[in-house]
Amino acid sequence: MSTLSERLTLARKAAGVSQDSAARHLGISRPTYIAIEKGVRDAKPRELIALASLFKTQVNRLVRPEAPSLPISPHLRGEISGSGNEAGLSEAVDKLVGFVDDYQFLLEKTNSRLAPVIAPPQIERSEISINQLAARIAQSERSKLGLGQREPIGDIRKTLDEVGVHIFVDALNSRLAGLYAYVPNFGYCILVNRQHPLDRMRWTVAHEYGHFLFDRNQPGVDYLNSPARKPYSERFADAFAANFLMPAEGIRHQFEDAQLRSGDVNVGDVCRIADIYGVSLMAMTLRLEMMRLIHQGTWDFLRESGVKVRDIKLEAGLDLNMAKPGIETFPERYILLAIQAWNTEKITTSQFARLMRCSPIEAREKAESKSKSIIDADEMEISLRLDKSVLERGNATA
Amino acid sequence: MTNFVLDCCTLINLYCGWGGLQNLQQIGPSFHLGQRVVDEILFIRDFDDDGSIVNHRLSADEVFLQYHFSILSLSSAGEENLMVRLATKLDDGEAEGLALASCRGFVFCSDDKPVADAARAEGLNTAIISTPELLQMWAGNNASRLSSLPAIIRRTSILGRFCPHRSSPFRTWWEKQRER
């Protein structure tokens, strides 16, 4: 099977087109079309153009010389079996495949490589409870990543990018929180739903990172409000996310601090602690319950009281008007590679814009803002060429 | 009469600079667009009445109201073959435009060096001209147009975020005009 035929097959499946329909579109027989997909018969240029149009893709993407990313086919977990299509699972997977394909295209264009990921050792299911196991692993990860034992995690995306987990953010079906997959010859990828609130997105990333640690070679999807009991790996990922984002030592410190100030800890205090750690009120309340700092069932009580979280936050003096920051679709490294490829004239402006999923004007603007750096002290503006080596002797005085 | 095929980015640059495309008529009724450029919804920016920058989606209808482009489609096996070969290096819109221009003896308008590189790699003799050259062609020796160039270039820089690449022979000219 040639690269082209592999790409044709992938594109057809992503577009949800049958081989029969594709054959009819080209005015050829089904066996002849199948021969094209098998690489037995070459596709004629006219056929390629017609197929790109039918599959709603670019000829440019079909004829890329690099082998496509192998299909990521998440195995639906038991409790969500059969609901994949309606929850936009296949669209999400196609998006991730496209992102990875573009990432690999950029790596090739810029002669770059991703640092090999040294996957952490597989976690053995131990005799201790899931929560204890997750707490131990989360603590060890925080330590490894230099996050300390009590501090909130600032930019979780950049932190995980450093250990080779590629995080993409895009609009997905609202029932889908995120998707995790291992892509052979590329690495570990997480796709997060942009439509969700920021605290939920952070939770999703931490949860999926838990999968990376626990069952990284088993792709999976996470739906919200799944009715059935979650399997072990899902429960581990949830417990890991709680411990990773809300380290026990830090939470206890914040809780005791609040108690010291007024002799009590109220809902407003919980709201503020949740805000510090970038999690929802629900996540923080459940975490405090789990740590036995508050009574079990407090979250149920709060929920049933009918008070809106928004009102509680307002009362606690939290800034609700703070807009959700513009979250990039792609990891920082991808963006820098795209800018580098464009700045060094390896790709055209239209290609650059398409790789950034924005208009040419927006793409130019992004490149401009990333390529310039202002040194505050001297009010001096310098332009950085991203492809400039800092290792070459001629680029700097000794 | 010279015929020109515009790529998407050149169209955006000219629109931002002039605040429309009507000025193309002053160069001549010889500008064409490939079907793929027409199919792309163009996103441009303009100044509002109060001077603030606003985003604007430019529809194909709006483009045609300002200048009556003829739309070109690939119509021969030669054009299709060339388009697909060029698409290994370029975006579809550029590959189509360059293939059309090359097979029909037209001039292709693009500011991207990879376009010229792809043409060279295919052994094409197609003339390729850039946004600065188009603006110079439009201005010619007309004193009024020449005096409006700095403002047009500033608009293109601010609204279209365009500046010729460091490798472009027109970079210095562009920067000087912008500073005037």
Residues near A234 by Cβ (< 8 Å), separated by ≥ 6? A77, A220, A222
Tokens representing A339 are 């800018």
Chain B contacts of A359, Cβ < 8 Å? 42-43
Q: Distance of alpha carbon B155 from its chain centroid, rounded?
A: 15
Q: Per-10-residue mean pLDDT for chain A, 398 residues long?
A: 90 94 97 95 96 96 86 49 63 90 95 84 81 93 91 92 91 88 85 91 93 81 70 90 96 94 89 93 94 93 79 70 74 95 97 95 92 53 61 55
Tokens representing A103 are 């990432």
Give the per-residue pLDDT at A80: 47
- Domain assignment of residue B147, yes or no: no
Give the per-residue pLDDT at A43: 95
- Domain assignment of residue B98, yes or no: yes
**Helices A130-144 and A198-215: angle between axes, nearest 10 degrees:** 100
- Domain assignment of residue B166, yes or no: no
- Domain assignment of residue B142, yes or no: no
Chain B contacts of A53, Cβ < 8 Å? none
A365: closest chain B residue by CA: B161
Strand partners, B53: B47
> Pairing mode, if any, of strands B70-72 and B31-34?
parallel
Pairwise CB contact (< 8 Å): A362 & B43: yes
- Domain assignment of residue B23, yes or no: yes
Domain count, chain B: 1
- Domain assignment of residue B107, yes or no: yes
Which of A59, A347, A368 has its CB closest to that of B92? Answer: A59
Pairwise CB contact (< 8 Å): B9 & A64: no
Residues near A53 by Cβ (< 8 Å), separated by ≥ 6? none
* More confidently predicted of A323 and B148: B148
Q: Residue A184 is which amino acid?
A: P
Shortest distance, CA B105 to any CA of chain A (angstroms)? 21
Give the per-residue pLDDT at A77: 40
Which of A48, A346, A359 has its CB closest to that of B114? Answer: A346
Which of A59, A348, A368 has its CB closest to that of B84? Answer: A59
Asked if A256 is an interface residue toward chain B (Cβ–Cβ < 8 A), one would say no
Pairwise CB contact (< 8 Å): A361 & B94: no
Give the per-residue pLDDT at A381: 56
Shortest distance, CA B163 to any CA of chain A (angstroms)? 9
Cα–Cα distance between A348 and A338 in angstroms, integer?
A: 11
Cα–Cα distance between A366 and B129 in angstroms, integer?
A: 26
Q: Which domain holds residue B99?
A: 4-129
Asked if A349 is an interface residue toward chain B (Cβ–Cβ < 8 A), one would say yes
Q: Residue A12 is which amino acid?
A: R
Shortest distance, CA B121 to any CA of chain A (angstroms)? 14
Pairwise CB contact (< 8 Å): B12 & A361: yes
Q: E strands of A184-319, at which residues?
A: 187-193, 220-223
- Domain assignment of residue B32, yes or no: yes
What mean pLDDT do residues B121-131 have?
97
User: B128 to each of A15, A379, B16, B133, how far by Cα in Å?
Assistant: 36, 40, 21, 10
Tokens representing A140 are 């060890």
Can you list the domains of chain A with their CATH numbers?
1-68 (1.10.260.40), 72-245 (1.10.10.2910), 248-315 (no CATH), 332-397 (no CATH)
Residues near B37 by Cβ (< 8 Å), separated by ≥ 6? B6, B7, B8, B11, B93, B96, B97
What mean pLDDT do residues B99-119 have?
98
What mean pLDDT do residues B169-179 have?
96
Pairwise CB contact (< 8 Å): B84 & A346: no
DSSP A41: S
Strand partners, B4: B31, B107
pTM: 0.88
Strand partners, B32: B5, B70
Give the per-residue pLDDT at A122: 80
- Domain assignment of residue B9, yes or no: yes
Preferred mutation among A57, A361, A372, A387 to probe B, highest tally of B CBs within 10 A: A361
Give the per-residue pLDDT at A78: 37
- For residue B28, the domain's CATH number is 3.40.50.1010
Tokens representing A233 are 């790996």
Q: If you average pLDDT over every residue of chain B, what do you get?
A: 94
Pairwise CB contact (< 8 Å): B90 & A362: no
Secondary structure element (H or E) that encloses residue A288, with its range: helix A281-290
